[in-house]
Amino acid sequence: MSKNLELLDKKYIWHPFTQMYDWLKEEPLIIKEAKGSYLKDIKGRWYLDGVSSLWVNVHGHRKKEIDSAIKKQLSKVAHSTFFGLSHKPAIELAGRLVNIAPGGLSKVFYSDNGSTSVEVALKICFQYWRQKDKKEKTKFIYFKNSYHGDTIGSVSVGGIGLFHGLYRPLLFKGYCLPFSIARVKNVLEKHHREIAGLIVEPMIQGAAGMLLMPKGFFKKIRDLCLRYNVLFIADEVATGFGRTGKMFACEHEGVRPDILCLGKGITAGYLPLAATLTTGKVYSAFLGEYKDKKAFFHGHSYTANPLACVAAIENLNLFEREKTLKKLQPKISFLKKELKAFEALEHVKEVRQLGFMVGIELVKDKAGNEPYLWEEKIGIRVIKEARKKRVILRPLGNVIVLMPPLSISSFELKLLLEITRQSILSVT
């Protein structure tokens, strides 16, 4: 049975972000079920889910309340279109999102994954200026090492050479800047007349390997955008829903964006759903007579899927009922304390952390600051070692990422850290 599944996987499937040549040589891990912070494979082995099933899970797997909310909705309707029709779960969820989002955001546009939430943000931004008779405002500012998704628009504002470089000929041009206030100010000063928006991952760049912004930088670029009349897009697809210790990372510096992108944790890791929130001011620019053609011509077949919406509502209920954010704080402090010991390891260059987002960067020679070569696959080797010890991780190059479900117990958190430490030690 398990052999058969393995063969069929290799026969038919093309996995994301995977060199299939390597995949075909190895034994795939095939997951069958899960519970809490653990995943179980078809051979009956249990693994600790150290990256929240790639940054999506919030309250653990098979959370009773979310399971039953979905089942209950399933007995009513699984899907009905959002084009020209509406439904209660999406209406209720929109109100809930507006209530918890940074101030000023009052309208919710649904889609079904983080990349599309960014596409929607970019298109809204572009069209907004057209309808405000500022047709020259078409370009975007984005940051080096940024990641906003894998569709062509979101790749256009991506700053990771390895993922994005190849596609340059297909992409629209913009301003790719480092974390430098002087540079952002300079570009805005010179080019604001042609800049529609600035897109940024608040406080921490996830896919780049957990890169933290200098303190105060996030707030300052927001203020600059206000001054130069450029829309400010906060991509909280990774950071949203408690991952950084606050509901949204924007709260760390009291930032109110013009547009907010949400995905990943929105359904607590259950179903594909995303949302792009914006202000009444932006929304109003799309109002007009039918003949004016000011509508936002964008939508997806599964936009606002009702099953996903009830999962998202129950996710928010759990945040309230279980005081998830409050309970998270001591776990964050514990993590911070324990991670100090990692910095002393011979091949650990730096440990970066914001809340429950952690990156441990490995280096070949600390004193000489000599990195591991790409071909050495150091990150991949460490996570393979961890897998032998029954912990699931996924690296970003030479950075080992830890991003456990917010619901993880302190015992499990200790286990995660200990096995990560052992795996780093045994491979480096």
Ligand X SMILES: *Cc1c(COP(=O)(O)O)cnc(C)c1O
Exactly one of 49, 235, 258, 361 binds ligand X (CB under 6 A); that residue is 235
Distance CA(117)–CA(103), nearest Å, equals: 19
CB 402, min distance to ligand X, A = 15
Task: Dump strand ranges (E) for 309-383.
Answer: 348-354, 357-362
Exactly one of 49, 119, 201, 412 binds ligand X (CB under 6 A); that residue is 201
Q: In terms of C-beta density within 10 A (0-12 exposed, 13-18 middle, 19 or more buried), how is residue 428 classed?
A: middle
CB 148, min distance to ligand X, A = 5
Contact positions with ligand X (CB under 6 A) in 258-287: 263-264
> CB-hemisphere CA count at 13 Å for 59?
24
Residue (16 or 44) nearer to ligand X, CB = 16
Strands 46-49 and 259-262, how do they pair? unpaired
Helices (H), 88-164: 88-100, 114-131, 152-156, 161-164
CB 8, min distance to ligand X, A = 25
DSSP 8-class letter at 199: E
Q: Which residue has the tokens 């051979």?
A: 43
Q: Does 52 help bind ligand X (rule: CB under 6 A)?
A: no
Distance CA(80)–CA(246), nearest Å, equals: 33
Q: Does 378 help bind ligand X (rule: CB under 6 A)?
A: no
Q: Does 127 help bind ligand X (rule: CB under 6 A)?
A: no
Q: In terms of C-beta density within 10 A (0-12 exposed, 13-18 middle, 19 or more buried), how is residue 78 classed?
A: exposed
Q: Does 118 help bind ligand X (rule: CB under 6 A)?
A: yes
Region from 99-107, 220-228, 232-240, 388-396 binding ligand X, contact rule CB under 6 A: 232-240
Residues contacting residue 133 through CB under 8 Å, at least 6 positions apart: none
CB 420, min distance to ligand X, A = 21
Region from 3-11, 23-31, 66-74, 230-238 binding ligand X, contact rule CB under 6 A: 230-238
Region from 34-42, 146-154, 241-249, 380-388 binding ligand X, contact rule CB under 6 A: 146-154
Task: Dump strand ranges (E) for 159-272.
Answer: 175-177, 195-200, 204-205, 211-212, 231-235, 259-262
Both structure tokens of 110: 């649904």
Residue of closest CB approach to ligand X: 114
Amino acid at 92: E
CB 168, min distance to ligand X, A = 19
CB 146, min distance to ligand X, A = 8
Contact positions with ligand X (CB under 6 A) in 148-187: 148-149
Region from 231-239, 247-255, 298-306, 311-319 binding ligand X, contact rule CB under 6 A: 231-239
Exactly one of 108, 141, 203, 237 binds ligand X (CB under 6 A); that residue is 237
Region from 22-30, 145-153, 175-183, 409-417 binding ligand X, contact rule CB under 6 A: 145-153
Cβ–Cβ under 8 Å, residues 107 and 279: yes
For the chain, what is the largest distance between any 2 Cα atoms, rounded to a whole number of angstroms? 67
CB 237, min distance to ligand X, A = 4
Distance CA(420)–CA(346), nearest Å, equals: 14
Residue (115 or 398) nearer to ligand X, CB = 115
Exactly one of 115, 244, 276, 407 binds ligand X (CB under 6 A); that residue is 115
Q: Does 314 help bind ligand X (rule: CB under 6 A)?
A: no
CB 114, min distance to ligand X, A = 2
Cβ–Cβ under 8 Å, residues 296 and 286: yes
Distance CA(72)–CA(66), nearest Å, equals: 10
Region from 101-109, 166-174, 200-208, 342-350 binding ligand X, contact rule CB under 6 A: 200-208
Q: How many Cβ atoms are within 10 Å of 185's Cβ, its own excluded?
A: 15
Exactly one of 52, 73, 111, 113 binds ligand X (CB under 6 A); that residue is 113
Region from 78-86, 123-131, 185-193, 235-243 binding ligand X, contact rule CB under 6 A: 235-243
Alpha-carbon separation of residue 225 from 19, 178, 256 (angstroms): 40, 16, 11
Q: φ, ψ for residue 146 (rounded to 5)?
A: -75, 155
Total site size for ligand X, rule CB under 6 A: 15
CB 407, min distance to ligand X, A = 20
Binding site for ligand X (CB under 6 A): 113-115, 118, 147-149, 201, 206-207, 235, 237-238, 263-264
